């Protein structure tokens, strides 16, 4: 059978394939041709082109990993889960919007204090923050692209992780379109190998997201966090001992509270709310200022030079010593 596929049609198939990846599906193809066949199969699902459906059987020659555990696709021994805003980036894009386009920093910080005191949920506080921003969504994105930069050292960590089969899974309270736009600019389109699990954005009733007061956050789940990051981590933790990878997490703020106790080693950013929470709740952590610290410690564990417990103990000792100094 010969099928002539135009560039526009091919790109439609590629888009469908990328949507599946962004939804958490991971495909392992034993030959590059099978990926092309899968894209053609995606095209066959477009109602206008049912004639290509006959390649269905060929396209499924690749194997897939359950969507719940996509980071296990390459059978890694280590996985790095991380927050995005203020952790991978030098400043928080949502804080920036709230402070400069919304009701301002004092109100935002007051809401954060209420969350830490368990007076309100993070979901409630975060919605209030973003609801205060009336700027059209496309304008918000463009502003952030001009002002948000990578945290120093992340590029080196990113390159090392990619080369050493350490999947990076982004667990964010932010919105996927903004995260993807920033990653594409800051790291290039090859950053799509990193899985993103986050909230989304939607249009308000009768509005377009690209008009004044036209958009609102769409939360990932119904929990008080809006996005309970622990729900992504726990299935990995539940794997049998001979399959379970060593898991790391890096974060900085109140959106990371649900994930703080879930991994083997927690990195908390110096001077931020996650450190305050960990001290209050007696959660062990390793304090970091930028990703050069994280890279050095993770490399020492992956190489076998240190154990997770050694690094964790060193982190607690260093933080305690700094308090006494």
Report the sign of the C-alpha dihedral through residues 248, 190, 185, 158, in that order: positive
Residues with Cβ within 8 Å of 217's Cβ and at least 6 positions away in sequence, in order, are: 126, 127, 130, 175, 199, 200, 201, 202, 226
Q: How many CB atoms lie within 10 A of CB 252?
A: 26
- Give the residue from 167, 187, 8 showing the smallest Cα distance to 82: 167
Q: Among residues 8, 83, 92, 273, which one is catalytic?
A: 83
- Known active-site residue 83: yes
Terminal C-alpha separation, the chain: 76
Given the residues 8, 85, 190, 256, the one annotated as active site: 85
For the stretch 4-9, contacts whose Cβ atoms lie closer than 8 Å and that sit 24 or more positions apart, written own/partner, are 5/40, 5/43, 9/43, 9/49
Residue 6 tokens, joined: 């135009």
Six token digits for residue 322: 């700094």
List active site positions.
83, 85
């Amino acid at each position: 059978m010969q099928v002539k596929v135009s560039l526009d049609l091919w790109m439609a198939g590629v888009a469908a394939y990328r949507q599946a990846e962004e939804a958490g599906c991971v495909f392992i193809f034993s030959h590059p041709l099978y990926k092309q066949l899968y894209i053609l199969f995606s095209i066959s699902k477009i109602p206008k082109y049912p004639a290509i459906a006959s390649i269905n059987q060929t396209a499924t020659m690749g194997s897939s990993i359950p969507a719940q555990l996509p980071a296990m696709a390459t059978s890694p021994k280590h996985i790095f889960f991380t927050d995005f805003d203020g952790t991978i980036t030098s400043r928080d894009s949502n804080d920036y919007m709230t402070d400069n386009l919304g009701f301002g920093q004092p109100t935002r910080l007051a809401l954060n204090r209420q969350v830490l005191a368990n007076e309100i949920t993070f979901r409630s506080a975060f919605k209030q923050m973003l609801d205060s921003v009336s700027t059209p969504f496309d304008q918000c994105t463009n502003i952030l692209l001009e002002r948000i930069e990578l945290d120093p050292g992340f590029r080196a960590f990113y390159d090392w992780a990619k080369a050493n089969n350490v999947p990076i899974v982004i667990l964010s309270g932010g919105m996927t379109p903004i995260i993807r736009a920033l990653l594409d600019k800051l790291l290039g389109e090859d950053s799509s190998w990193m899985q993103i699990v986050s909230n989304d954005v939607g249009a308000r009733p009768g509005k377009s997201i690209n008009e004044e007061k036209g958009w609102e956050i769409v939360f990932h789940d119904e929990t008080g966090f809006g996005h309970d990051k622990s729900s992504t981590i726990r299935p990995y933790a539940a794997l049998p001992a001979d399959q379970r990878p060593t898991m790391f997490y890096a974060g900085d703020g109140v959106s990371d509270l649900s994930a703080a106790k879930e991994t083997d080693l927690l990195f908390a950013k110096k001077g931020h709310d996650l450190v305050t929470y960990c001290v209050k709740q007696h959660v062990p952590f390793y304090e970091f200022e930028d990703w050069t610290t994280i890279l050095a410690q993770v490399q020492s564990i992956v190489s076998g030079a240190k154990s997770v417990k050694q690094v964790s103990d060193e982190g607690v000792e260093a933080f305690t010593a700094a308090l006494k100094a």
